[in-house]
């Protein structure tokens, strides 16, 4: 997905970027069946990111989804430190442990 040249945080753009982020969370972290609270957090983060976007910077779109929206979601929704997230997802074994940790957090919060 590419940012349009003149960009606004309109509902259509927010929905498209939310879908991309939700797909990433599902495929990378096995986070599925998001609660209303989780969807609200993703929406607010997405709106903020799109409002601050400057097309002159030529930012890589996937970086925005991965680092800006998805990582902020993990930080804000589950209270995880950004550096800790990066360290826990370096190897395949680390990623499996991280996915299990997220599953337990969501289970304790009754989100799954």
pLDDT tens digits, one per residue of 87-108: 988 899 999 999 999 999 999 9
Answer yes or no: are the C-beta atoms of 69 and 45 closer than 8 Å.
yes
* pLDDT attached to residue 75: 95
The arithmetic mean of pLDDT across residues 32-40, rounded, is: 94
Residue 1 has pLDDT above 60, yes or no: no
Residue 7 has pLDDT above 70, yes or no: no
* pLDDT attached to residue 62: 65
pTM above 0.95, yes or no: no
Residue with tokens 């003149």: 6
pLDDT tens digits, one per residue of 42-91: 999 999 988 887 667 666 666 777 778 999 999 999 999 989 998 988 89
Sequence ranges of the domains in the chain: 11-108
The arithmetic mean of pLDDT across residues 19-33, rounded, is: 93
> DSSP H helical segments within 30-70, as ranges?
36-52, 61-63
Residue with tokens 């797909």: 23
Residue 15 has pLDDT above 70, yes or no: yes
In whole angstroms, give the CA distance from residue 7 to residue 25.
Answer: 24
The arithmetic mean of pLDDT across residues 15-39, rounded, is: 93
DSSP state of 110: T
Who contacts 103 (Cβ-Cβ below 8 Å, separation ≥6)? Answer: 30, 112
Cα–Cα distances in Å, from 6 out to 3, 42, 55? 8, 23, 8
């Amino acid at each position: 997905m590419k940012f349009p040249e003149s960009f606004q945080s309109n509902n259509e753009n927010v929905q498209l970027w939310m879908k991309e982020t939700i797909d990433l969370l599902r495929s990378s972290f096995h986070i599925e069946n998001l609660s209303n609270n989780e969807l609200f957090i993703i929406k607010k983060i997405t709106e903020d990111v799109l409002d601050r976007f400057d097309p002159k910077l030529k930012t890589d779109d996937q970086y925005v989804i991965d680092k800006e929206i998805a990582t902020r979601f993990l930080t804000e929704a589950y209270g995880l430190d950004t550096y800790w997230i990066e360290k826990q997802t370096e190897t395949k074994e680390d990623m499996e442990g991280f996915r299990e940790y997220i599953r337990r957090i969501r289970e304790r919060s009754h989100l799954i």
